[in-house]
Amino acid sequence: MVSGKSGSVPISYFDASKFKTQFACELKDYDPNDHFDRKEARKMDRFTQYAMVASDEAIDDAGFHLES
């Protein structure tokens, strides 16, 4: 975004040939195992994983300490 270039690329996560939209802004280098154990990651779709990771990062960035 900063460089003014689009992050939109042909969809590679699944076969999109039957869909009208062929491009998306997929997350590169996302590995669910960096955030969840394998069993947990298998139970969640990617959008749920993204939401959980983003909320954890937002809480950390805000400096909240939920334990106290």
Does the global pTM surpass 0.75?
no
* Alpha carbon distance 62, 16 (integer Å): 37
**Domain locations along the chain:** 9-62
- pLDDT tens digits along 19-65: 999 999 888 889 999 999 999 999 999 999 999 999 999 999 999 88
- Rounded CA separation 32/61 (Å): 20
Long-range contacts of 34-40 (CB under 8 A, 24+ apart): none
Look at residue 68 in the predicted model and tell me its pLDDT.
62
Please check the confidence at residue 66 and state whether its pLDDT lies above 90: no
